Chains A and B, each alone.
Chain A
Amino acid sequence: MESVIALFGTVDREPEPTLVKQAREGSRVAFGQLYQQYSRMVHGLLLARVPHSEVEDMVQDVFLLALRRLRSLRDDKAFGGWLAMIARNQAVDYHRRAPRITELKETMLQETPPSPEAHAVLDTIRSLPDAYRETLILRLVEGLNGPEIAEQTGLSPDSVRVNLHRGMKMLREKMEGKAAT
């Protein structure tokens, strides 16, 4: 049997161990750099689960929570997957405590709001299975490419590739189905 790199699950990587170490030691510059590198990933994972108007504040919440918990992260190489977990949990917590009335936020009043078609496509992506919607949002909304998605989320490249391929296929089928009706 030929040797093949892990295809399905997570793999060991070294995302930014030095930055993580520096951030743990109190460097906000280092943590800011981690934010710049990973904020699109966190934004995308949240956008896959919560309303668009809530995501911006929640991205900040996720990073501040990560900052507080950083001292308990023992394997710096696991930072990306660990951060993704915090983001997913924040989304779960959001739905647990979601108020019936949404506070009006500045982010709802953008000068050039996304088109209704964009929201419609986003809703269609959100209707896909978790693995596909996360990957598609990271690729199509956040602009990450496949290798970047794998590196930042801790998923294996081939798992991301399969998710992109199948997710795009399902998205196209759903969009064609809606267009036909």
Chain B
Amino acid sequence: MNEDYLWDKSGEPDPEIQRLENLLSPLGNKTPVLSFPKHNRVPYLWAIAASLLVLAGGAWMTWQKSRPAWAVNGAPATKRLAKGETITTDSQSHARLNLNDVGEVELDPNTTLSVLAMKPDEQRLALNHGTIHALIWAPPGRFVVNTPSAQTVDLGCQYTLKVDADGAGLVDVTVGWVAFENDGRESFIPAGAACMTRPGKGPGIPYYTDAPGELIGALQRFDADADRAAIAAIVEKARPRDAISLWHLLRRVQPDDRGRVYDRLSQLIAVPSGVTRDGVLAGDPKMIDSLWNALDLGNTSWWRMWKSRGPK
């Protein structure tokens, strides 16, 4: 496959990609212009309505409206959600929060969500319990959701976050990336992967949701109790795609166990030059970063940059 041609159509055309282009292009957009309805004067009506509202409203209303707030749809008697406020859905209701420069957050039934911060560079919510579905288009690092055991940092993505009655969380990422972070422990979760977080333990090890059940079970046993017996199953069941789980595991096992995790990881990925077994076993951060880069998921430099500019 010609990667250049796939990326920007430069270089020698790839015959297979060209065939697909020719085959599929009839399904593409064929409408060159937008048809405006003749009666579509909504923007002007909005402007007039807004003006009347301002004139009719009192100072209190004006102040209320000027406060930054999430717009809310779906929850009875709630239209805006500002810093310090909380929304709760009952067993039958959903709600959708929207903030134009940030994204949308949908609440499932039986969910409680609070707004902790509304700043230009930080939108922070707290999910006490329940389930939210977030679709975020704000720049990476600006949208954060606190849970009882970790904070979820959006890195430009779409994800579902659940918190159960015990305060344990589960994030399932559909698009982009999410970082789970608590007390110095980090987990980086790409699209197609999920990760748990537990009170008192923090973020667990991420795993692809299509991973073998035995692998997921073993990872969860390790997360829950640092079960050393689970390491053998993790190492045995890991596929090449699961190298991301091994990379996280490498940073969390005891030094005595690090060797067998590294050995399996080195079978699944191309170990970069300059990375040595002894160095990794000694916990050399540069070598561990280099191993991440070999996962073919992007460069660790990005994480460093994000951390240096993200919300504090």
Contact = CB atoms under 8 A, between A and B. Distances in A.
Asked if A pairs with B, the answer is yes
A59 B302 contact: no
Interface string A123-142: 00000011100100001111
Interface string B2-45: 01001111000000110011011111111111111100101110
Contact of A81 (B31, B137, B298): B137
B25 A141 contact: yes
Interface stretch (B111-119, B152-160, B215-223, B263-271): B152-160
A115 B301 contact: no
Interface stretch (B83-91, B174-182, B199-207): B174-182
Contact of B20 (A39, A59, A140): A140
A17 B27 CA distance: 30
Contacts of B312: none
Nearest to B7: A146
A60 B101 contact: no
A52 B6 contact: no
B174 A130 contact: yes
A39 B29 contact: yes
B103 interface: yes
Contacts of B299: 4, 7
B135 A88 contact: yes
B8 A10 contact: no
Please classify how large the interface on chain B is, using the bins under 10, 10 to 19, 20 to 34, 35 or more: 35 or more
Nearest to B104: A85
Interface in B71-92: none
A46 to B, nearest CB: 10
Contacts of B100: 69, 72-75, 78, 82
A75 B155 CA distance: 18
Nearest to B289: A1
Interface in B290-311: 296-302, 304-306
A146 B5 CA distance: 10
B40 A1 contact: no
B25 to A, nearest CB: 6
A5 B305 CA distance: 9
Interface in B116-162: 135, 137-141, 154-158
Contacts of A59: 29, 31
A116 B20 CA distance: 13
B177 A9 contact: yes
Interface string A153-171: 0111011011011001100
Given A1-B304, A7-B298, A71-B46, A56 B27 contact: no
Contacts of B302: 4-8
B19 to A, nearest CB: 10
Contacts of B305: 3-4, 6
B101 A141 contact: no
Contact of B29 (A71, A73, A142, A158): A142
Interface in B197-247: none
A28 interface: yes
Contacts of A2: 301
Interface residues of A, number: 79
Interface string A31-42: 110011001101
Given A85-B103, A130-B191, A162-B297, A154 B28 contact: no
Nearest to A167: B6
B105 to A, nearest CB: 12
Contacts of A140: 17, 20-21, 24
Contacts of B30: 56
A68 B140 contact: no
Contact of B6 (A32, A155, A168): A168
| 8 closest A-B pairs by CB | A9-B156, A9-B140, A81-B137, A43-B29, A10-B156, A7-B298, A4-B301, A9-B155
20 contacts: A6-B305, A7-B299, A8-B155, A8-B177, A10-B156, A12-B139, A35-B33, A39-B34, A40-B28, A71-B46, A74-B101, A78-B100, A82-B100, A84-B137, A113-B26, A119-B27, A140-B20, A143-B21, A143-B25, A168-B17
Given A31-B34, A64-B40, A68-B42, 10 more contacts: A4-B299, A11-B139, A26-B43, A32-B33, A74-B100, A82-B137, A85-B137, A121-B20, A140-B21, A143-B21
Interface of A: 1-12, 26, 28, 31-32, 35-36, 39-40, 42-44, 47, 52, 56, 59-60, 63-64, 67-75, 78, 81-82, 84-85, 88-89, 112-115, 117-119, 121-122, 129-131, 134, 139-143, 145-147, 154-156, 158-159, 161-162, 164-165, 168-169, 172
